[in-house]
Amino acid sequence: MRIVNIAVLASGKGSNFEAIVNAQRRGQIRAEIKLLLVDKVKAFARQKAKRLGVREIFLSPKDYPTSLEFDRAAVKILKSEKIDLVVLAGYLRILSPYFIKKYKNRILNIHPALLPSFKGIDSIQRAFEYGCKITGVTVHLVDEKVDHGPIILQEPVWIKKGMSLELLEKKIHHLEHKLYPLAIRLFIQKKLKIKGRNVSTI
């Protein structure tokens, strides 16, 4: 049985990327993390890739006239590396329909809220400022709409009285680092059954 090849796409700090690599090295994820692809020259994830010994590729949006051309270049790299699963880890670009079609039901994303609530950016802060009593983390498949694809896993985080935004962020990130490797493992083990928007574990 051929080992699953994973590419992680990131734009920022890379904390989920690091958590995924660590989970793989502990044996929780039986796959090969082939590369980290980044679209920001100053993304801190690049330094983490170097420290962790993971191949890193920087693809500059400035080199491509359109988002579609950028995605074509990204897909070409992924195909050349025989990537089976694309994992978005703080990747701030919206994937084109072209990209999504090439990796249909093989792109995972993690979102720091209980979707469909608080889609988009600054989700933790917006839930906190809204006065929510509960928020959480969602891992989902990526489709053509932002933060919309079928949900694989969700877990809540309670916002207790007196909790600071900083503490909430810490709790959310801690949960992300637990939930994402689990979702990846379920995918690799072919334990996900997808029917429309419903994803169940076999």
- Please list the active-site residues: 111
Distance CA 107, CA 87 (A): 6
3-state secondary structure of 31: strand
Q: What is the DSSP string of 124-185?
A: HHHHHHHT-SEEEEEEEE--SSTT-SPEEEEEEEE--TT--HHHHHHHHHHHHHHHHHHHHH
* Cα-Cα-Cα-Cα dihedral sign, residues 30, 102, 77, 139: negative
